[in-house]
Chains A and B, each alone.
Chain A
Amino acid sequence: MFWKMVAGALRRQKGKHVMIAFTVGLGVSLATAMLGVMFDIGDKVNQELKAYGANLNVIPRGASLLGDKYQLAGDDGGEAAEEVLAANYIREDELYKIKMIFWAYNIVDFSPYLTARVKVGNEEINLVGAWFNKHLSLPTGDEVDTGMASMKSWWKIEGQPVDEAFPDGVMVGRNLAGKLKLAPGSTFEAAAADSGLVKTLTVRSVFSSGGEEDDEIFAPLALAQELAGKPGLVQRVEVSALTTPENDLARKAAQNPDHLSRQEWDTWYCTAYISSIAYQIEEIMPGVRVKPVMRVAESEGTILHKTQLMIVLLTILTLLCSALAISNLVTANIMERSVEIGLMKALGATNLSVSLLVLTEMLIVAFMGGVCGYLAGLGLARFIGLAVFGTSVEVKTVVIPITVLMILAVTLLGSLPSLRSILHLRPTEVLHGR
């Protein structure tokens, strides 16, 4: 295509102009695509980083000491907290409020957890209740589907997913399934450790998480509440939110938001920092404590920041590159037309009118190239988005003025050296073949 266009450009009389338009187009398409990617990369990478799971833990105020007991191997410090835990729960029917904070749209997924101790045969096992495919209708009229599946992207699940539609369908950790000789499809009896209530459960799938959960059973929340004898209550909630990378303000606020000045507080509250989202959830749900998971929050910030910086640098490089190429061509084109320009000056044209004429011409050519380039750039951005993230990159409208400014600046700057030569051109010299 490129060679065809070039061949066409050379063949036609207007070849040079086509070439300038083409280069402007290339530059603009690249700039559009890169700017598009640049503005969108944060969201995209943020979305990707959700693979690391929840970045906020919501726990009842009294249970803070427990932390997230079920998160990491090597935790054996929980016995004392068992009693604290018993006294503190969060009401399940208040959870929808998480989706009603200022930054509601940044809440990607959330799921509550409630652990019930059950006996299967002689083994005493944790049965964890959670949301899997939960549908919520908010008072605002919004409909939300959420659950833990997308928050545990590293889990390998064999079999049918657990769903609220199958109240007795559970998924069993790999280690446990091996011990109890369970496979997807098989059924078993579980008795609540406290009340002795017996339920017949169906194994829908076997999962492996690489962590403690491999020795546990995951079930719809209602089942766990029934077995634990805690209807309508949950122990903790994991929330996965899109956040703005942490900075000094966010760190200051994380220690104590009350130490911020009024203006700082406004900025902090209206930015999707992990600490401000945590603060807003605490605001709307009294009696809970929201703890940012530092390993996820800090890392997200770092990686997002680095990636963004890298793309910004690449974009600047690209813009410089195309700017130089365009100004090269414009200069060459104007220099070549010295005879024509000399003639115009000989016929009485002022420097101003010649310069304006040349500039207008260049701008028209550049503009046409720019429009084509912009359209090509939209396609390019879409392509990059689809190829890398599987979703299209939406080019924000702010790219258009930037692009227009860029074309203007580059064409004008590119024409400057040649315009200077126009001013110094003496008609007699050119017309008499030097």
Chain B
Amino acid sequence: MSKNSFFLARMLMWSLLRRRSRLLIALLGVTIGATVLFSLVTLCYDIPRQLSREFRSYGANLVFVKAGGVGRMSLAELNQAAALLPAEQLVGLTPLRYESVRNHMLPYTAVGVDFEEARKTSPYWRVEGVWPARSGEMLAGSDVAEKIRLTPGQSLTLDGRNEAQERYDKEFKVTGIVSTGGVEDGFMVISLSDMEEMTGEADRLDLAEASLTSNSAALSEISAQVKARFPGLEARPVTRVASSEETVLSKLTALVYLVSLVVLSLTMICVATTMMTVVLERRREIGLKKALGAENRRVAREFLAEGLILGVLGGFLGSVCGLFLAGAVSASVFGRALTPEPQLAPITIAVSAVVTIVACLAPVRRAVDVEPALVLRGE
């Protein structure tokens, strides 16, 4: 029997290698199908994650304040609570401190932030000029800037009194004008460390904004945990951001899933039709083998083996191409590298093998059922 198996392998090999152009057509079909399959499934896996990151441009979706919203918290307190946030979903965490300050006798609100983190939690801030990079630099809200005719590069002095009623003042250089269409337009934005240095009072935070890629259920969960473990603090989900994101994100994800499903099923049908044509072309060969005395099952099995080889080979090539395609799509759409999902490769190979075999099955059966005399006589 081993000699025969060897001959079978030889026949299959030549059938694939010597009919190169036809093989290429079939292989191309299967490979494209597998590529689409692999990249779409990878993307579907990744898209909710990626989109969820995009949605972080709406800003913070969880706000930490002192319980009841009254009083100030310490950095240590905040850091303890922030340890509850899932690190891989945390986009940014900005502590904020507000102080009433004056400039030329006019009152303003100064807000102390960590600029690095603020850029992450509030990516929608539009800054004309540059972001402050070192101590003594600040951003001015657009309304403030308009009122007192500030332009980037100018300096101004802020003064005020701290809790101990001691006077303080400090000179700042305006590096940029921030406009958000929100409250920030009326603020003087300085760095938290400058504010602590200026007032001589450290470790007083009014609130902290966190931006997380978690869904609103997870946010409520975090909120509940904070409440249970740190009774002095409160983590409020920003309903407006969280619930709107839920609505929109679920629709976008559904859209991508649905479109992918449609594309996938049609691609598989295309693979199937290609395979069918390939098999149909070889009806005469099937007839001949039958005339030589081959049983139906044996002929069918040979063709299915060929389909299997094509399917596995196409699936493999498709997985490789698909990885690149998905990577390219992810890079061009989201500007971020894709997390590869290697476990999808065997699935892709299996699916394309099954699709190819199933696609071969019907025409092979049909061809095998035809009396060989009918096929061999004519033409």
Interface residues of A (CB under 8 A from B): 2-3, 6-7, 10, 15-16, 19, 22-23, 26-27, 29-30, 33-34, 37, 41, 45, 48-49, 51-53, 57, 64-69, 71-77, 79-81, 153-154, 208-211, 251, 254-255, 291-299, 302-303, 306-307, 309-311, 313-314, 317-318, 320-322, 324-325, 328-329, 331-333, 335-336, 339, 380, 384, 387-389
Contacts and interface: CB of A to CB of B under 8 A. Distances in A.
Contacts of B239: 154, 208-211
Interface majority SS (helix, strand, loop, mixed), chain B: helix
B262 A30 contact: yes
Contacts of A294: 124-126, 179-182
A129 B330 CA distance: 46
Nearest to A76: B98
Given A52-B244, A325-B273, A332-B25, A68 B182 contact: yes
B240 A302 contact: no
The range of chain B's interface size is 35 or more
Interface of B: 25, 28-29, 32-33, 36, 39, 47, 51, 54-55, 57-59, 63, 65, 69, 96, 98, 100, 106-109, 122-126, 128, 143-144, 146-147, 179-187, 206-207, 236-241, 243-244, 247-248, 251-252, 254-256, 258-260, 262-263, 266-267, 269-271, 273-274, 276-278, 280-281, 325, 329, 332-334, 362-363, 366, 379
Contact of B183 (A67, A299, A387): A67
B143 to A, nearest CB: 5
A311 B51 CA distance: 13
B232 to A, nearest CB: 18
Contacts of B267: 321
Given A48-B248, A302-B57, A30 B266 contact: yes
Contact of B65 (A26, A57, A68, A73): A73
Contact of A74 (B100, B206, B237): B206
Contacts of A10: 280, 362-363, 366
Nearest to B107: A80
Given A73-B63, A73-B65, A295 B181 contact: yes
Given A37-B259, A68-B183, A328 B54 contact: no
Contacts of B65: 73-74
27 contacts: A2-B269, A16-B280, A23-B270, A27-B266, A34-B259, A48-B252, A53-B244, A65-B147, A71-B182, A80-B106, A154-B243, A154-B244, A211-B238, A292-B181, A294-B181, A298-B57, A299-B57, A299-B124, A302-B57, A303-B55, A310-B47, A311-B255, A311-B259, A321-B270, A329-B277, A384-B255, A384-B258
Nearest to A152: B240
Contact of A310 (B32, B247, B333): B333
Contacts of A7: 362
A291 B185 contact: yes
B124 A295 contact: yes
A387 B181 contact: no
A33 B262 contact: yes
B274 A52 contact: no
Contact of B181 (A16, A297, A314): A297
Interface majority SS (helix, strand, loop, mixed), chain A: helix
Contacts of A30: 262-263, 266
B277 A19 contact: yes
Contact of B182 (A19, A67, A328): A67
B181 A57 contact: yes
A81 B247 CA distance: 36
B184 to A, nearest CB: 8
Given A52-B240, A77-B100, A294-B181, 19 more contacts: A2-B269, A26-B266, A34-B263, A37-B255, A64-B185, A67-B143, A67-B183, A67-B186, A68-B181, A73-B65, A209-B239, A210-B240, A296-B58, A303-B248, A306-B334, A310-B333, A322-B266, A322-B270, A324-B270
A6 B362 contact: yes
Given A74-B207, A321-B267, A387-B254, A314 B109 contact: no
Scoring B144, B146, B266 by chain A CB atoms within 10 A of each residue's CB, the highest score goes to B266
B379 A339 contact: yes
B109 A77 contact: yes
Contacts of B55: 299, 303
Given A325-B29, A384-B259, A66 B58 contact: no
Contacts of A51: 244, 247-248
Contacts of A332: 25, 277-278, 281
A313 B363 CA distance: 34
Q: Which 6 A-B pairs have the closest CB atoms?
A: A210-B239, A77-B109, A325-B270, A293-B181, A51-B244, A298-B124
Contact of A295 (B25, B122, B144): B122
